[in-house]
Structure 1
Amino acid sequence: MKPQHDLPVACRTEVLALIPTFIVVAVDATGMGIILPLLPFYSQQLGATPFTIGALISVYALCQLIAGPVVGTLSDRYGRRGVLIVSQIGTLIGFVLLASANSLTVVFLARIIDGLTSGNISVAHAYAAEHSAPSTRKQALGTTSGAIGTGMLVGPALSGLLVQFGSTAPIWAAALLSLISIIATIGLLPPDHPESGVLDIHSAPEPESARDLLVMPSAWVLLGLLILFFLVNSMFLSQIALFLSARFSWQGHPFGAKELGGVFAYAGFINILVQGLLITRASRYAPDRIIVTIAFACMGAGFLGIAVVERISLLALSLTLIILGTMFIRTTLTAELSRSVPLNRQGVIMGLNQSLMSSANIIAPLLSGALIDRRLYATWALAMAATAACGAITAVGLLARPQVKIPALGRRVNRFGSF
């Protein structure tokens, strides 16, 4: 056993070793952040309707759902680094096709290729986890999450600046970043050796593992709350661009890619603020179940706000409530979900979580697109407010339930207690 005074040095060494992973993930996330605010307007120029834009998001999510288990299995068998490089090459091809598109068919093809080869971030998460000791694993995953937050702050801001030079300029910039990410992965990340005992986190769960979850009420309640969150978040992200463009103007012209880039950059800033400061401080003063209840209520209030407000200042307040609620719910529920099951059931529960998110990203954009296509802007916002209210009511209704202990599975009751 190492002396106690040696542990901080070892921790610092491992954190420094994760700097290449941070660079790779940050560059990838920046590329994605560039595309997010631009895609709806770019597709509109090629004749896309709001429903078609929803279908673009849905087909990408469907391809992710299909490819996810395959990418995971390949990374277990052949190593994270090699699969990460192939995934990044797919993203690069998708960006080049998107920048060169002269029809919606090519745009769909670009998103399908990108979706089928997606997995950059998830594989990088696994790489970071496997190349860190248990004592520093939380810091390792926090490093990759911080890289995503950084990329999602810088990317939309870059998109807003570059769109002034043409609608394809941000996409070519994303392609260049993708190429840089490939070079960084090859040059900075050391090869891994799956044959040395890599944990197969993507392997198909054993039947008894899935059956065990049936007697874990807290896990199923958390998954139910996550379903509501994924649905409302996907509805919001898939059509917020066209909603703002139709309802609001800035300096005499409707909201466009530049203004939406500013909104996404602001969301990235709040994400960094929540992850770095607010989430820890909030946990000191309230249990997670109350934090989730308040966060759902904030989202609902924000959606009600965008349904009725007309002034930019009130719109900014409503969007802030939505973004804050989103960040707190995502972080808190995901952490609680991980703590709701034993260590040997982590793969099963996180696999279910990923499947639910992908399913929501397939269904919700189509519903959202149908509403915006018919110019039912208030109905769209009120539908999201109602879904968020269901989340808050569900959380409130569970506060008074007695705690449940499952000694057969050796699980401690988590901070949600009644969840």
Structure 2
Amino acid sequence: MSEPSKVARRRSAGMGFIMVAVLIDMISIGLIIPVLPPLVGSFTNSAANHTLAYLMVAFAFGFANFIGSPILGALSDRYGRRPVMLIGFCGLALSFFVTAMATALWMLVAVRVVSGAMQANASVANAYVADISAPDERAKRFGMLGAAFGMGFILGPVMGGILGDIDLHLPFYVAGTLALINWCYGFFVLPESLKPENRRPFTWRRANPVNSLKKLSSLKGVGPLVFVIALSGLAQMILQSSWVLYTHFKFGWGPKENGWSLFAVGVMSVLVQGFLLPKLLKIFSPQRLVVLGLLSSTVTNFVWGASTAGWMMYAIIGFNLLGFAVNAAMQSLISNAADASTQGETMGAVSSLNSIMAVLAPVVGPGLIYFVADLPQGDWRIGAPFYFCAALQALSLVFAWRHFARTRPAATVAV
């Protein structure tokens, strides 16, 4: 077998390994989504206090992740992706088991700080994919990784909703067990992707979250895309932090109904990123796909907020087909702007930027719900977080369109 064939075979095998690791990781995370807000609510005595308590729990994770992500990303550039991912799996397992046994709200806040600081698996997984992919393969490969994330959200929330109907604590024990299984898989099976010649020393200056964001914005071809990442990321995280509270207050949904709705989101994510993305990339460049996807997401968020019946949420999920392709297209543009020795730092910076948004999201999303939580069920004003998300997506669309209009369009990515 020729050397290029051997390299291609190793890259293909490595992609399979990382997709399995991400799938298990996302199932474990997805398990807790329908049940974490109700668990937080068990320590409160009113809808308003419930919203504020959930805000604190979400804020704790986002702030710690903002500080930790660039550090772990820089460490992965020095020591490799595999050991940093193992740290993340340990952090998740610890978080889930302690959450299951929590007897007070402060325990939930404290454990989310620890897990946020240790958990940077998404950014390291993206760096892993960049390590094993040629530049013209990355959009497709990031789509495949996104499909693994989506599959986790197909299985996880449904399982969490069903288990949460039995006992609110049960999904956390199951999620912790899956995180431990993933640690074993990573330790015994997952190969390292970063070549020794592409490693570089760790420095605290590069690991500084503010400095890493400055370097990200200075990458050639990125520039204003940092604002697109920030604004669209904030919209997505407001949606994530508000979904369960919004559907509960507006439609009276519980863990089971929310589990099935997130199942639908996962199905669309897998369908688009795992199967339709290669076809879309033959029709649109990544730049155009970003613009069209942001336009679709703007409309989707507004209509979600205005929905008057639960079934409408499902119909709108199906409408937002192009919106599910935005992240993979953006990841390929950012990754291709970085060199082989800085993929971990670059993806860590993107993760850190998203973490800033994760800090803001629970303040904005549940914060807006706080003012409308006591309105009658079905009131259109309960959709306030989604109207705000629509405005953020519209603004990110403007930044993206202006940036791409000023730069020479790239050729359609080969797949």
Q: Where on the TM-score scale, by shorter chain, does this alignment land: which range?
A: 0.7 to 0.9
How many Å apart are 1:166 and its aligned residue? 0.9
Q: Out of 19, 24, 46, which is 1:22 matched to?
A: 19
Q: Out of 409, 414, 418, which is 2:410 matched to?
A: 414
- The residue number in structure 1 matching 2:394 is 389
Q: Which of 1 and 2 has higher RCO (CA within 8 Å, sep 6+)? A: 2
Q: 1:106 aligned to 2:107?
A: yes
- The residue number in structure 2 matching 1:355 is 352
The amino acid across from 2:395 in the alignment is: C
- The residue number in structure 1 matching 2:228 is 225
How many Å apart are 1:32 and its aligned residue? 0.6
- The residue number in structure 2 matching 1:409 is none
Q: 1:238 aligned to 2:241?
A: yes
The amino acid across from 1:199 in the alignment is: R
Pick closer, same or farther for the CA change 1:63–1:214 going to 2, 3 Å: closer
Q: 1:97 aligned to 2:98?
A: yes
Q: Is the 8 A contact 2:69 2:120 kept in 1?
A: yes
- The residue number in structure 1 matching 2:56 is 55
The size of the alignment, in residue pairs, is 395
How many Å apart are 1:398 and its aligned residue? 5.3
Q: Is the 8 A contact 1:201 1:347 kept in 2?
A: no
Q: Is the 8 A contact 1:293 1:395 kept in 2?
A: yes
**What is the DSSP-based 3-state SS (H/G/I as helix, E as strand, rest coil) of the residue aligned with 1:220?**
coil
How many Å apart are 1:81 and its aligned residue? 3.4
1:124-152 CA-partner distances (Å, limit 9, x unpaired): 4445655x475997487666544333222
- The residue number in structure 2 matching 1:379 is 384
> For 1:288 and 1:13, how far apart are their aligned partners in 2?
26
1:289-342 CA-partner distances (Å, limit 9, x unpaired): 4433332222222222123221333232233345x3542221222222334566
- For residues 282-321 of structure 1, the aligned pairs below 5 Å read 282-321=280-319
Pick closer, same or farther for the CA change 1:325–1:244 going to 2, 3 Å: farther
Q: Is the 8 A contact 1:14 1:136 kept in 2?
A: no
How many Å apart are 1:100 and its aligned residue? 0.7
> For 1:68 and 1:122, how far apart are their aligned partners in 2?
8
- The residue number in structure 2 matching 1:197 is 197
The amino acid across from 1:242 in the alignment is: L
1:66-85 CA-partner distances (Å, limit 9, x unpaired): 12233234444444433333
> For 1:200 and 1:214, how far apart are their aligned partners in 2?
20
Unaligned runs of at least 5 residues, structure 2: 373-380
Pick closer, same or farther for the CA change 1:374–1:325 going to 2, 3 Å: farther
Pick closer, same or farther for the CA change 1:367–1:280 going to 2, 3 Å: same
Instruction: Give the alignment's TM-score, normalised by structure 2.
Output: 0.82
1:180-206 CA-partner distances (Å, limit 9, x unpaired): 11222232235x598943424975559
Q: Is the 8 A contact 2:92 2:179 kept in 1?
A: yes
> For 1:396 and 1:85, how far apart are their aligned partners in 2?
39
- The residue number in structure 2 matching 1:152 is 153
> For 1:350 and 1:180, how far apart are their aligned partners in 2?
25
Pick closer, same or farther for the CA change 1:15–1:295 going to 2, 3 Å: closer
Q: Out of 35, 39, 45, which is 1:38 matched to?
A: 35
**What is the DSSP-based 3-state SS (H/G/I as helix, E as strand, rest coil) of the residue aligned with 2:230?**
helix
Pick closer, same or farther for the CA change 1:271–1:59 going to 2, 3 Å: same
> For 1:269 and 1:74, how far apart are their aligned partners in 2?
34
**What is the DSSP-based 3-state SS (H/G/I as helix, E as strand, rest coil) of the residue aligned with 1:219?**
coil
- For residues 83-94 of structure 1, the aligned pairs below 5 Å read 83-94=84-95
- The residue number in structure 2 matching 1:367 is 364
Pick closer, same or farther for the CA change 1:137–1:211 going to 2, 3 Å: closer
Instruction: Give the alignment's TM-score, normalised by structure 1.
Output: 0.81
- The residue number in structure 2 matching 1:251 is none
Pick closer, same or farther for the CA change 1:414–1:377 going to 2, 3 Å: same
Q: Is the 8 A contact 1:129 1:137 kept in 2?
A: no
Deviates more, 1:134-143 or 1:288-297: 134-143
1:225-284 CA-partner distances (Å, limit 9, x unpaired): 222201211111111111111111xxxxx2111111112221111111111232222233
Deviates more, 1:56-65 or 1:389-398: 389-398
How many Å apart are 1:361 and its aligned residue? 1.0
Pick closer, same or farther for the CA change 1:221–1:63 going to 2, 3 Å: same
> For 1:291 and 1:134, how far apart are their aligned partners in 2?
20
The amino acid across from 2:183 in the alignment is: I
> For 1:70 and 1:340, how far apart are their aligned partners in 2?
20
Q: Which one has a bigger Cα radius of gyration?
A: 1
Q: Percent identity?
A: 21
RMSD: 3.5
How many Å apart are 1:46 and its aligned residue? 1.9
Pick closer, same or farther for the CA change 1:16–1:389 going to 2, 3 Å: closer
How many Å apart are 1:171 and its aligned residue? 1.1
